Amino acid sequence: MTLLKLAAYEQPLKWLALALGLLSTISIVQNWQFAAMALGLPFCLIWIFCGWLRNEPQLKFINIVFSILYIYGIIRYLLTNS
């Protein structure tokens, strides 16, 4: 599947990212650390995808960095709270 075919899903993905961002923010406020990371990771992955569609290198690379940090946090959480 090419990027042009995937571009049809960009707007629904952005709405999903908005919902994930809101839920992640609520998780942070409620001090649900793992939920915030678990919701934040797909949020970043969606924006990485959207960055590739639009050739927005800053958006893409910032979200790659955040995704790596979320993956690190999730792995650390799972290892220390097992």
For the segment 21-72, what is each residue's pLDDT rounded down to a tens digit? 999 999 999 999 999 999 999 999 988 888 777 777 788 889 899 999 999 9
Which is more confident, 6 or 71? Answer: 71
| Token pair belonging to 10 | 């960009």
User: Residue 56: what are its φ and ψ, rounded to 5°?
Assistant: -105, 90
Apex 76 CA angle, 48 and 20, nearest 5: 40
Task: Give alpha helix (H) positions in 7-56.
Answer: 10-29, 33-54
Q: Which band of pLDDT confidence, cut at 50, 70 and 90, is reported for residue 2?
A: low
| Token pair belonging to 80 | 């220390």
